[in-house]
Amino acid sequence: MTTRLTPDICVIGGGSGGLSVAAAAAAFGVEVVLIEKGKMGGDCLNYGCVPSKAMIAAGKHAHAIAEAPQFGVLAGEAKVDFRKVHKHIHSVIGAIAPNDSVERFRAMGVNVIESAAHFTDKSTVVAGDTEIRARRFVIATGSSAFVPPIPGLDTVDYLTNETLFERTRAPKHLIVIGGGPIGMEMAQAHRRLGAEVTVIEGLKALGKDDPELAAIVLDNIRAEGVAVLEGSKVTLVEKRGKTGVRVHYESESGAGHVDGSDLLVAAGRLANVEGLGLDKAGIEHDRRGIKVGANLRSSNSRVYAIGDVAGGLQFTHVAGYHAGLVVQQILFRAPAKENRDIIPWATYTDPELAHVGLTEEEAAKRHRGRISVLRWPYAENDRAQSERKTTGLIKMVVDRKARILGVSIAGAGAGEMINMWALAIANGMKLKDVRGYVPPYPTMAEIGKRAAITYYTPMTRKPFVRWIVRFLRRFG
């Protein structure tokens, strides 16, 4: 027997974006069906953001012990129990999981179907023995680890983010293919937890970030003992012994190879579009994801796509942002468009790397070079000195009217500090707005204000401004 449902909204995918749409719709009393074939919470909770940050936190504690003598604290050599690291990671997942559970969403009034979904025509989705004909559909199926077609890769055991956090044994020598945010975060975390680590990157590591700031982060990671091979294309992977692996690569300096105990493939993400029957629904898509307009609507006017599957920026907070835009349109028929200029991102290496708005290169092109670039180093901040976290700087790009166009930060707490600048850019703020706020002392947030004030420094040397100061002094 086939069950037929006619909800107002059908959401496919129980990750952060899909859950946000379902929760919002249910809160307004709208009938909504949520379909999820795997684990509720999606990649972020189970295989991505949450477990990776839990592992990074473990690595930070180990590193703090190594740094303790600088503060006059002798704690001895750190000893890592990787089984307990594994337990810590999964206890964090377990603590958050109830918020995303089937039970919680059913209690909200969401009809949750635990099955794979596919379109049979432009207005019908089938999941198990249930047929859903909704007024609107939202596809939020996320993305999965991309496994490149490297010769020999299918002959060895390798890890992706979906299997990495199941390990209870520390790798002796971890080889990471891919020097993006995931690859560099996991490389540093594993190095701090006792593994030897080599990263092989075909182009530039952390290549999507400002090169000046990425270099600061990479220098620090290399100083901790991680080998980062940039401009090195992997040509072959083969077994070495019973459990080892050998990775061959080519670079400008010639061919080479690295021998390791374990292999992590962190070569990017691929949108989850397979098996959805998108062609039957008239939904245009390619390997990068579903093609959508700025309003996130697909070529099928009934269907929206949000988050990673929409083929844009692949961050959990972007999926949440998309969810809000879609809810606004579906429930209130209010126009909404994605603005990628206001989206921040952060890489949780140490030091951290964060950005929002336009990069220096993007701003120069869009404003024909009529921009100013402001900087301030962490080393000039009292709080950074007291905590010995002086590596890094803030870089701010503004236009001729002192409007803030973009901010990049490399340094301790960059992921937290970027929040203020995301707010500033989202609201079109200018440097005068920053000049007028008072940060508490001593905090690292002062770094941003100091950078902003440098914009006005040239004014102190202008003859006309100095003449005004001298003239006003005559009046007492």
Q: Of 152, 235, 169, 228, nearest to 197 (Cα)?
A: 228
Q: Of 452, 225, 220, nearest to 353 (Cα)?
A: 220
Structure tokens at 191: 């190095």
Angstrom distance (rounded) from CA 223 to CA 221: 5
Known binder of ligand: residue 446? no
Q: Is 5 helix (H, G, I), strand (E, B) or coil?
A: strand
Q: Of 43, 44, 9, 38, nearest to 115 (Cα)?
A: 38
**CA distance readout (Å), 173 to 62, 154, 155, 463:** 18, 20, 19, 62
Known binder of ligand: residue 53? yes
Known binder of ligand: residue 184? yes
Q: Cβ distance 353 to 206 under 8 Å?
A: yes
Known binder of ligand: residue 143? yes
Angstrom distance (rounded) from CA 176 to CA 264: 5
Q: Cβ distance 315 to 143 under 8 Å?
A: no
Known binder of ligand: residue 142? yes
Question: Counting runs of H as helices and runs of E as strands, what totals does the chain give?
Answer: 15, 25
Known binder of ligand: residue 201? yes
Known binder of ligand: residue 308? yes
Q: Of 395, 392, 322, 338, nearest to 363 (Cα)?
A: 395
Known binder of ligand: residue 324? no
Known binder of ligand: residue 179? yes
| DSSP labels, 211-230 | HHHHHHHHHHHHHTT-EEE-
Annotated binding site for NAD(+): 178-185, 201, 268
Annotated binding site for FAD: 53, 141-143, 308
Annotated binding site: 53, 141-143, 178-185, 201, 268, 308
